[in-house]
Amino acid sequence: MESYTEKILITGALGQIGTELTNRLVEIHGAENVVASGLDRWDKNLTSAGFYERMDVSNTQLVRQVVKDYEITTVYHLASLLSGTSERQPLFAWKLNVEPLLNFCEMAKEGLLKKIFWPSSIAVFGKGIPKENVGQDVVLNPTTVYGISKMAGEKWCEYYHDKHGVDVRSIRYPGLISWKTPAGGGTTDYAVEIFYEAVEQGKYTSFISENTAMPMLYMDDAINATLKLMEAPKENLTVRTSYNLGGLSFTPKELATEIKNEMPDFEIDYQPDFRQAIADSWPASIDDSIAKKDWGLSYDFDISEMTKDMLKNLKIKLNAN
């Protein structure tokens, strides 16, 4: 295997995944080898990365300059508009979710980058696909702006790999649950909001109906999976679109029951909004056996452990014990 010092650029570094991934990459590679980027102005508490670039990922020239200036080898390109927000701004979502990925793939094709990570989503599956244990190779039929952009991105990843040898790797993330940085604009975000409201209000009104199961994953497991995929030897990877990741599968009602086990007075009711239709078009559970076989995907958290950890940390964070 080729050995080199990794210099990492993270886009969307201030987002839900970006914040935690940046911390882990800094632990592994040292702050001096990690460049975070986002739209916010820099301040000293913004990120644990050694460097911060305030940039819009759609600005291709600026992004290219940053890659050259820092001699970046590896990009975690996380900047994206999630499913709910994408429905409100379809053309902007398409532009943001697809074009910067192509810019990074072009840079890798030219030899400027060695490796790219790009997140896909369970949103690629869509209507008419069996709900349970959805396999890697089912026909994709996304019916949302977000799902369409992710499906196209996956095919571009495969294209750049097959045609130009670009080492771009991807995971179809399920809904991600975490306490450090809030999610923004996703359909699975109910499973994050519910914890905040449980701690702050003791009750929650879910915008997803009680019996709608979706695949979900605790952030620690998502970060571990991402790093494992990126560290895996190239020759072990058989999927160059994006790997299925199943994680956990549960309904709002089941999650509420877990929270009630910890907080017996917690109450929930249900007022589904436009995101219910998005959830209805997504799978309830996912078969991720290929990721387990190819690069050793594994999980540490089940729904009870996740619930306990979320509540414990949020109570501290929100100072509401």
Catalytic residues: 146
The smaller minimum CB distance to ligand SER, of residues 82 and 157, is found at 82
For residue 212, state whether it binds ligand SER (rule: CB under 6 A): no
- Stretch binding ligand SER (CB under 6 A), from 21-29, 115-123, 197-205, 296-304: 115-123
For residue 175, state whether it binds ligand SER (rule: CB under 6 A): yes
φ and ψ at residue 293, rounded to 5 degrees = -75, -45
For residue 83, state whether it binds ligand SER (rule: CB under 6 A): yes
For residue 171, state whether it binds ligand SER (rule: CB under 6 A): no
> CA dist 189 to 55, 58, 193, 215, 300, Å?
26, 25, 6, 12, 21
Question: Among 25, 35, 105, 123, which residue interacts with ligand SER (rule: CB under 6 A)?
Answer: 123
For residue 121, state whether it binds ligand SER (rule: CB under 6 A): yes
Q: Shortest distance, CB of residue 173 to ligand SER, whole angstroms?
A: 5
- Stretch binding ligand SER (CB under 6 A), from 5-13, 118-126, 128-136, 163-171: 118-126
For residue 281, state whether it binds ligand SER (rule: CB under 6 A): no
Nearest Cα residue to 191 out of 248, 119, 131, 273: 248
**Range 253-258, long-range pairs (CB < 8 A, 24+ positions):** 253/210, 253/211, 254/213, 254/303, 255/191, 255/194, 255/303, 255/307, 256/194, 256/204, 256/206, 256/210, 258/303, 258/304, 258/307
Helix, strand, or coil (residue 92)? helix
Whether 97 and 86 have beta carbons less than 8 Å apart is answered as yes
The smaller minimum CB distance to ligand SER, of residues 37 and 83, is found at 83
For residue 187, state whether it binds ligand SER (rule: CB under 6 A): yes
The smaller minimum CB distance to ligand SER, of residues 10 and 183, is found at 183
For residue 100, state whether it binds ligand SER (rule: CB under 6 A): no
Q: Where are the alpha helices (DSSP H) in 70-203?
A: 83-88, 90-109, 145-164, 190-200
> CA dist 178 to 21, 42, 175, 188, Å?
12, 23, 10, 12
For residue 37, state whether it binds ligand SER (rule: CB under 6 A): no
If binding means CB under 6 A, how many residues of this protein chain bind ligand SER? 11
Give residues in contact with ligand SER (CB under 6 A). 82-83, 121-123, 146, 173, 175, 186-188
